[in-house]
Amino acid sequence: MALSETASESNASIHSTFASRYVRVSLPRFKMPTNSIPKEAAYQIINDELMLDGNPRLNLASFVTTWMEPECDKLIMASINKNYVDMDEYPVTTELQNRCVNMIAHLFNAPLGESEAAVGVGTVGSSEAIMLAGLAFKRQWQNKRKAEGKPYDKPNIVTGANVQVCWEKFARYFEVELKEVKLRDGYYVMDPVKAVELVDENTICVAAILGSTLNGEFEDVKHLNDLLTKKNQETGWDTPIHVDAASGGFIAPFLYPELEWDFRLPLVKSINVSGHKYGLVYAGIGWVIWRSKDDLPDELIFHINYLGADQPTFTLNFSKGSSQVIAQYYQLIRLGYEASLMEIT
Ligand SMILES: *Cc1c(COP(=O)(O)O)cnc(C)c1O
């Protein structure tokens, strides 16, 4: 009796993860292994390898949020298994995204009535938001050119040479010529005068950046709006503006409320912002807001009904997680205008 007990105690080492055969063979890198392994071993192996990653809390690069309050972490974990796209199954999550769109649109001074729903959508980040905004401009321009009986096969877009790579992606993926305003010594953002000079009848929009990726500087959107208004009057075109406010969209409304860069300027038709930058949510959320329904061509919106009722969608992907949308709503109602100001000063 005593003997067999001793034997089973000494057997305990076999059940130790580190002493098990699963961690003694080299890890598969190219082909899925033939045999399965216990969950404890899988966890330990992956956890240990991940220790070689950097520590997100020490990572200030890419300006992305790496800490949220434990209450919000709880909401995130509780919704990690909700597919965002299934709006019929998760109508409250859809409602929270709509509230975020409304709040952000108001923050950007969209011309909306007190209880009028804003036009916008949650995305994976500013990059997806910019693809959608760019597509709306391209389609809008094509429709206008077609109606006028003019060629619509050579669209271009005007930006500064300081743009984030997503604008280059948009141009290449969706076949729009990118016309970049060169930077010059001592001036590292898009010069509005030069930008307007590059505008021609094939320009689908001018994209300004609020918070240049290179140095954080805001471009002068008001000056751009004024110059472009004048050019539009002279030429009969109606070239619009998009503001890439990936980083500045959650800074300017709090720190510089008087600065006119948003929908207060008539030519600004759409704005994107990254929820995971100064929206203070973990990576995986962005927003694009349109000035009004008229600025988002109907034919880009798909109506699907295979998950239940009719659902309008305008995104590049289909399924995605819900957690980031819920976390964004948490930050907006938790901080409010007053604490958002404190968080960023
Ligand atoms: C970060 C950034 C982007 C890309 O945003 P993601 O949310 O990472 O896709 C685009 N434009 C500017 C100006 C940025 O700072």
Any idea what the CATH number is for the domain that residue 30 is in?
A: 4.10.280.50
Residues 181 and 253 in one domain: yes
Dist. CA 274 → ligand 1 center (Å): 7
Confidence bin at 14 (pLDDT 50/70/90): low
Residue 15 lies in a domain: no
Q: Which of 123, 164, 209, 244 to mutate to test the pocket of ligand 1 (most atoms within 8 A of CB)?
A: 164
Q: Residue 248: give its domain's CATH number.
A: 3.40.640.10
pLDDT of res. 26? 82
125 lines ligand 1 (CB under 6 A): yes
Range of the domain at 39: 21-53
Residue 13 lies in a domain: no
Closest ligand 1 atom to the C-alpha of 212?
A: 13
244 lines ligand 1 (CB under 6 A): yes
Number of domains in the chain: 2
Residues 255 and 336 in one domain: yes
Mean pLDDT of 160-186: 95
What's the maximum distance between 2 C-alpha atoms anywhere in the chain?
Answer: 101
Dist. CA 259 → ligand 1 center (Å): 21
The Cα–Cα gap between 208 and 249 comes to 12
Dist. CA 250 → ligand 1 center (Å): 13
Residues 203 and 260 in one domain: yes
Q: 167-205 as b/e, with b when 16 or more CB fall inside 10 Å?
A: beebbeeeebebbbbebeeeeebbbbebbbebbeebbbb
Residue 42 lies in a domain: yes
Dist. CA 327 → ligand 1 center (Å): 19
Dist. CA 133 → ligand 1 center (Å): 14
Non-local (6+) Cβ contacts of 340 within 8 A are 250, 254
pLDDT of 343 over the 90 cut: no
pLDDT of 341 over the 80 cut: no
pLDDT of res. 29? 87
Which of 128-142, 155-169, 221-235, 301-315 is predicted least confidently?
301-315
Closest ligand 1 atom to the C-alpha of 209?
A: 13
Residues 35 and 182 in one domain: no
Dist. CA 220 → ligand 1 center (Å): 18
pLDDT of 252 over the 90 cut: yes
163 lines ligand 1 (CB under 6 A): no
Residues 128 and 252 in one domain: yes
Dist. CA 132 → ligand 1 center (Å): 14
Q: Give the type of residue at 123.
A: T
Closest ligand 1 atom to the C-alpha of 129?
A: 9
Residue 65 lies in a domain: no
Confidence bin at 51 (pLDDT 50/70/90): very high
Residues 161 and 81 in one domain: yes
Which residue's alpha carbon is at the smallest distance from atom 14 of ligand 1? 246
pLDDT of 271 over the 70 cut: yes
Q: What is the pLDDT of residues 76-115, one digit of tens each?
A: 999 999 999 988 889 999 999 999 999 999 999 999 988 8
Classify the phi-psi angles of 226: left when phi > 0, otherwise alpha if psi is within -120 to 50, otherwise beta: alpha
pLDDT of 3 over the 70 cut: no
Residues 163 and 44 in one domain: no
164 lines ligand 1 (CB under 6 A): yes
| Residue 209 near residue 179, CB atoms below 8 Å | no
Tokens representing residue 266 in the block = 């008539």
Residue 1 lies in a domain: no
The Cα–Cα gap between 65 and 250 comes to 13
Dist. CA 61 → ligand 1 center (Å): 12
pLDDT of 6 over the 60 cut: no
pLDDT of res. 5? 52
127 lines ligand 1 (CB under 6 A): yes
Choice between 29 and 12, residue whose per-residue pLDDT is larger:
29
Strand partners, 244: 209, 272
Residues 113 and 37 in one domain: no
The runs of H, that is alpha helices, within 79-125 are 91-107
Residue 127 lies in a domain: yes
Dist. CA 164 → ligand 1 center (Å): 6
Closest ligand 1 atom to the C-alpha of 276?
A: 7
Residues 42 and 173 in one domain: no
Residues 274 and 338 in one domain: yes
Residues 145 and 270 in one domain: yes
Residue 338 lies in a domain: yes
Residue 68 lies in a domain: no
Closest ligand 1 atom to the C-alpha of 247?
A: 15
pLDDT of 336 over the 70 cut: yes
Residues 330 and 291 in one domain: yes
Is the sign of the CA dihedral 31, 283, 52, 35 positive or negative?
negative
